[in-house]
Amino acid sequence: MRRHRALCGIILLTLAVLTTARPKHGQSKCKSGPVDLVFLIDSSRSVRPHEFETMRKFMIDILNTLDIGPNATRVGVVQYSSQVRSEFSLKTHSTLDTMVKSINQIIPLAQGTMTGLAIRYVMNVAFSAEEGDRPKIPNVAVIVTDGRPQDRVAEVAAEAREKGIEIYAVGVARADMTSLRAMASLPFEDHVFLVESFDLIHQFGLQFQDKLCGVDLCSESDHGCEHICESSPGSFHCLCLPGYTLNADGKTCAAIDLCSEGKHHCEQICISSPGSFSCDCNKGYKLNDDKKTCSKPVKQTHLSYYTYYHMFFYFCYSPTLFSSFHPSVIDYCSFGNHSCDHRCVSVLSGFHCRCNEGYRLLADGKTCRGEMYAENKNENHHLLCWIQVIQHVCCTCVQTHTDDDTIDLCAEGKHDCEQICVSAPDAFTCDCNKGYTLNEDEKTCTPIDLCADGKHDCEQICISAPGVFTCDCNKGFKLNKDNRTCTNVDMCSTVEHGCEHQCVSTPGSYYCICPDGNLLQEDGKSCGTCRSANIDLVLLIDGSKSVRPQNFELVKKFVNQVVDSLDVSAHGTRVGLVQYSSRVRTEFPLNMYHSADEIKAAVMKVAYMEKGTMTGLALKHMLENSFSEAEGARPLGRNIPRIGLVFTDGRSQDDITEYAKRAKEAGITMYAVGVGKAVEDELREIASEPVEKHFYYTTDFSAINTIAENLKLNVCPEESQGEIEVKDPCACENLVEFQQATMSRMAARLEQLENQLLSRK
């Protein structure tokens, strides 16, 4: 009979799961793009039957939100214990209905917990082309486990991540956070989840859906990409347009400057454009057909004359005289007696010497220097001869000037010198003004920077001018009479510093200090015994489902009790409030309210969030956003204490280690307040040193008002002098303290009485 009842119970539970896990056809599907998703579920002996059914429902709920199909999201399921078994591969099912049916038919293995073996199977088999894995499609693995692995996971998980598999690690109840972090991808706050029981696993499901397909982050978030934003499941990355490269910040783009990188072949000037370049030439040059090299054009005045060589002289004739004159040419150069410096050219009645490009033939008709001229004895001009044809007609005549009519190219502005043009007959050279040096192009000039070259003797600051320099001093120093060295100015003795206790000079400035036991106040000049009236305080309150609405109201009263103990004003204490559960929400920043009444009214209007307990995510938000100057935190240079207070009632579902440490390293004094199921190790990890003064815990929400009183005293210990500290008199350490104090007073009193008796004798 008992067995019959147990069987009925299992059947009813299975029917309930089948009913609740039925696909929700009316629900909108995720449109994140194609994803290959594999669930790796722990079916070890420690997973009880009803917990496995909850895990079954968890998978089906996620599938209901996905766009399932061979060209959309593909899903595979692998279960493991001491062995690994594939329930279905990425290519097995193409519809949601068949997937759900297969998941509901899974029978747990109920053995050990070989998580490392299972990850290797997923890496080598589940995400293989034979099993349906697609190239260039994101691979996502979700590992759900309830205990510590019985084999090594760190190395195989690292190998899987290196192959491009994004791993989410979900731990339940007895799962080990260290092992979860060893398996998961970075950042841990997005990929590591720890829940207290299988009943809360749906909280990860909601967050995973947001990561995988909640929004198109490129279109619905401030992605910050300068050029192109490309979405991926739960994330995005930035790209650049052609000709640009992505900077180290992963968002902005820089033009690829091929000119500055020397990746061009321009002879003179390279003009850069993103990822490309074009060539140009200096003034007086033109770009050749190869679009890279430059040549200097010769302005020619073509006459209707041609030269003919005879006895080492050139004569110009009209082409009409030679219209029918085509004698055969004897190769006089082949006789070997021409003595030409460069080249010999045969013509009708002999030969003439020819020079290479850039040279001219001298009067001896043989030697080459510079350009080549042909002299006409009958006209008052020179004819520049450019050799064109060896036979019959040899060159074109270009009119120039005689030696008596020398061209001053500098005076006529026919030069491209940047500063000074030095004229020579029919030529010029460039020079520079004093303090400048001629560049390699022999045209432009660069200022001589004696400061940059180190050719000065200034002690502190060198101010450069072309070819000269002057010296100056840093702020707080004055230049000596030698105009080189500097002397420190004692700011405390030369300005009205206003320091209440003592002024200390520094180079170019000063600061005030206070005697021991006193603190420098906000004005940087006066001294006081406490600075609690001048802090930036951010409270992080847990709004998870386990808090419950009636207790959340007590949390809000706790916050207002803390506010009552502070001197709130724009120039005194500023207060900000952040609520967190599965996500984080700023209720109001530090710079929103400037009076205690405004803050308390805003606190009472805060709506309860419910859902999970992502304390690590809340700490990250506090560090990166709440204590930013944009949200009202005052600059660090003003030495305003920054205090963070975390209030929680349970174990964090993500890792707190990194951001708890970073918050304290950033100079934030952290207080941790725990109630009920809060984990002491986590509270101590959050709290600043000494932990005993920054960590509070009570078993009941009704006792948190006592914590508020203690917190008030610890913010500024000096203010508590003369006041009675509120403590739990039944606490063990308080009983011991009371006994020790009583015995000490009794011993002192007895000693006093003995002395009185002795004095009477």
The 3 state secondary structure assigned to 593-617 is CCCHHHHHHHHHCCCCCCCCCCHHH
Taking a C-beta distance cutoff of 8 angstroms, is the pair 306, 397 a contact?
Answer: yes
- Worst-scoring range by mean pLDDT, 258-267, 477-486, 751-760? 751-760
Please report the sign of the dihedral spanned by the C-alpha atoms of residue 720, residue 726, residue 730, residue 733: negative
Pick the closest to residue 414 from 403, 395, 430 (CA basis): 430
Assess if residue 673 is contained within a domain.
yes
Residue 234 placed within a domain: no
Sign of CA dihedral 8, 13, 16, 21: negative
Report which of 555, 552, 556, 598 is spatially closest to residue 573, judged by C-alpha positions.
598
Looking at residue 610, what is its pLDDT? 84
The residue whose two tokens read 């419910």 is 610
Does residue 478 sit within a domain? no
pLDDT > 80? residue 719: no
- Which H, E and C letters describe 212-239, residue by residue? HHHCCHHHHCCCCCCCEEEEECCEEEEE
Bridge partners of 235, per DSSP, are 232
What percentage of the chain carries pLDDT values higher than 90?
Answer: 25
Residue position matching structure tokens 């999970």: 612
Residue 528 has a pLDDT of 66
Residue 469 has pLDDT above 80, yes or no: yes
The pLDDT tens digits for 495-532 are 788 888 888 887 667 788 888 766 677 677 877 655 44
pLDDT value at residue 305: 38
Please say if the pLDDT value at position 440 is more than 80. yes
Residues 718, 616 share a domain = yes
Average pLDDT, the chain: 78
519 and 592 co-located in one domain: no
Residues 116 and 43 grouped into a single domain? yes
Between vectors from CA 78 to CA 72 and to CA 82, what angle results, nearest 5°?
A: 165
Residues 721 and 738 in one domain: no
Cα dihedral across residues 397, 401, 402, 403: positive or negative? negative
743 by DSSP, 3-state: which? helix
Tell me, yes or no, whether 541 and 600 share the same domain: yes
Beta bridge partners, 172, equal 195
| Rounded CA separation 262/272 (Å) | 11
Q: What is the CATH number of the domain that holds 505?
A: 2.10.25.10
CB 79 within 8 A of CB 106: yes
Taking residues 378-389, report their average pLDDT: 40
Residue 200: pLDDT band by 50, 70, 90 thresholds? Answer: low
**710 and 746 share a domain?**
no
Angle of helix 96-104 versus helix 49-63 axis, rounded to 10: 170
Stretch 228-250: mean pLDDT, rounded? 80
pLDDT tens for 146-164 read 878 888 999 999 999 999 9
Q: For the domain that residue 712 is a member of, what is the CATH number? A: 3.40.50.410
Round to whole Å and give the CA distance between 104 and 23: 12
**Angstrom distance (rounded) from CA 148 to CA 176:** 5
Q: 89-98, 174-183, 221-230, 295-304: lowest mean pLDDT where? A: 295-304
State how far the Cα of 279 lies from the Cα of 88, in Å rounded to an integer: 62
The residue out of 214, 238, 263 marking a domain boundary is 214
Whether 254 is in a domain gets the answer: no
The pLDDT value recorded for residue 714 is 47
Q: Are residues 553 and 607 in the same domain?
A: yes
Note whether 519 and 594 are same-domain residues: no
At 303, which helix (H) or strand (E)? strand 302-310
Residues 653 and 738 grouped into a single domain: no
On whether residue 69 sits in a domain, the answer given is yes
| Pair 579, 520 in one domain | no
Are 644 and 607 in the same domain? yes
Q: Quick check: is 551 in a domain?
A: yes
Indicate the number of domains in the chain. Answer: 5
| Domain finish residue from 360, 380, 405 | 405
Which residues, at least 6 apart from 594, have a Cβ–Cβ distance to it below 8 Å? Answer: 568, 569, 570, 574
Q: What whole-number distance in Å separates Cα of residue 556 and Cα of residue 540? A: 11
Whether 517 and 592 map to the same domain: the answer is no
Query: Are 201 and 172 a contacting pair, CB within 8 Å?
Result: yes
Q: What is the pLDDT of residues 643-695, one digit of tens each?
A: 999 999 888 888 899 999 999 999 999 999 988 888 888 999 999 888 888 88
Highest mean pLDDT among 85-94, 264-273, 303-312, 407-416: 85-94
Task: Give the domain extent around 332.
Answer: 302-405
435: in domain: no
d(CA 146, CA 356): 90
Q: Answer yes or no: is pLDDT of 746 > 70.
A: yes
Q: Is 119 inside any structural domain?
A: yes
Top mean-pLDDT range of 191-200, 333-342, 404-413, 603-612: 603-612
Where a domain ends, among 214, 231, 249?
Answer: 214
